[in-house]
């Protein structure tokens, strides 16, 4: 049974669970609420969590089962567990007001400020594991032909992984706000309207080029690419209006 979780709630399951499992559930949920594990990011592996929390791996697995049943996380076979919980704090209400006041051009201007530096830092700082995860996201994105919603979700994930790969939590947090603003504004509707299969293929090629630059640690090519990509985004925006 799934219920809505507000920001002060603890997770109560319909079936009794062990005390140790409940402690792990509460610990992980507290970390997720505090954004130590932000929305859309991957949790540490079961083995890592078990070692860190001093419990058996099957205890962690049971706790993750509870969190998944409560829609706090989502498991992806072969990829791990990802946070889906979104806070409803006053700061979220502020974010929504920002989205209401942000035009598509405002959004693109902020991207133009953040993304070149974000990509530069990601090229320098992404770990091999993060690059592998980025490759997996790109592969999933490249498999899409016409599903616009799935494409947008994976595109956001791709950018989020690059932001996390900078190693700069403040920059990553700033970029998460641009994604949230994008989701809540009419820009998303415009994007869906213009995401034809041909344009999806074009974006897939672009992101493949960007990934290759990141994976090869080619700072100049990656930054130059993202700048040109933003120019193309500006052209598309002008066409929409």
What are the beta bridge partners of residue 117? Answer: none
* Nearest alpha carbon to residue 231 among 62, 146, 128, 111: 111
Please give the model's pTM, rounded to 2 decimal places: 0.60
Q: Which fold has domain 19-83?
A: Arc Repressor Mutant, subunit A (1.10.10)
Q: Kindly report, residue by residue over 70-80, the tens digit of the pLDDT.
A: 889 998 887 88
Predicted confidence at residue 50, as pLDDT, reads 93
Q: Which two tokens stand for residue 66?
A: 């509870």
**Residues 126 and 165: beta-carbon distance below 8 Å:** yes
Domain 92-239, CATH: 1.20.120.530
Q: Round to whole Å and give the CA distance between 33 and 14.
A: 21
Residue 138, exposed/middle/buried by CB under 10 A (0-12, 13-18, 19+)? buried
Predicted confidence at residue 51, as pLDDT, reads 92
Beta carbons within 10 angstroms of residue 93's beta carbon: 10
Beta carbons within 10 angstroms of residue 214's beta carbon: 24
Which residues make up the CATH 1.20.120.530 domain(s) of the chain? 92-239
- Banded model confidence at residue 140, pLDDT cuts 50, 70, 90: very high
Helix, strand, coil percent content, the chain, rounded in steps of 5: 70, 5, 25
Q: Kindly report, residue by residue over 11-61, the tens digit of the pLDDT.
A: 766 667 888 999 999 899 988 888 888 888 889 999 999 999 999 999 999
Beta carbons within 10 angstroms of residue 113's beta carbon: 11
**Residues 134 and 214: beta-carbon distance below 8 Å:** yes
Predicted confidence at residue 35, as pLDDT, reads 82
| CA distances to 3, 142, 193, 206 from 161, in Å | 29, 16, 25, 16
């Amino acid at each position: 049974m799934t219920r809505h979780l507000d920001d002060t709630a603890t997770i109560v399951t319909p079936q009794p669970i062990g005390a140790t499992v409940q402690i792990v559930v509460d610990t992980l949920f507290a970390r997720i609420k505090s954004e130590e594990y932000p929305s859309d990011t991957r949790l540490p592996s079961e083995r890592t969590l078990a070692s860190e929390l001093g419990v058996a791996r099957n205890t962690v697995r049971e706790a993750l089962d509870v969190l998944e049943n409560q829609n706090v996380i989502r498991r992806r076979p072969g990829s791990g567990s990802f946070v889906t919980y979104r806070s409803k704090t006053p700061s979220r209400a502020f974010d929504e007001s920002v989205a209401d006041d942000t035009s598509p051009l405002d959004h693109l201007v902020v991207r133009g400020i953040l993304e070149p530096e974000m990509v530069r830092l990601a090229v320098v700082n992404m770990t091999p594991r993060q690059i592998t995860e980025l490759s997996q996201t790109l592969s999933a994105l490249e498999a899409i032909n016409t599903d616009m919603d799935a494409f947008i979700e994976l595109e956001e994930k791709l950018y989020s992984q690059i932001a996390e790969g900078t190693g700069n939590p403040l920059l990553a947090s700033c970029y998460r706000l641009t994604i949230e603003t994008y989701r809540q504004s009419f820009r998303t509707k415009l994007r869906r309207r213009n995401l034809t299969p041909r344009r999806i293929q074009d974006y897939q090629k672009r992101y493949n080029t960007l990934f290759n630059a990141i994976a090869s640690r080619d700072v100049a090519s990656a930054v130059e690419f993202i700048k040109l990509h933003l120019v193309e985004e500006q052209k598309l925006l002008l066409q929409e209006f």
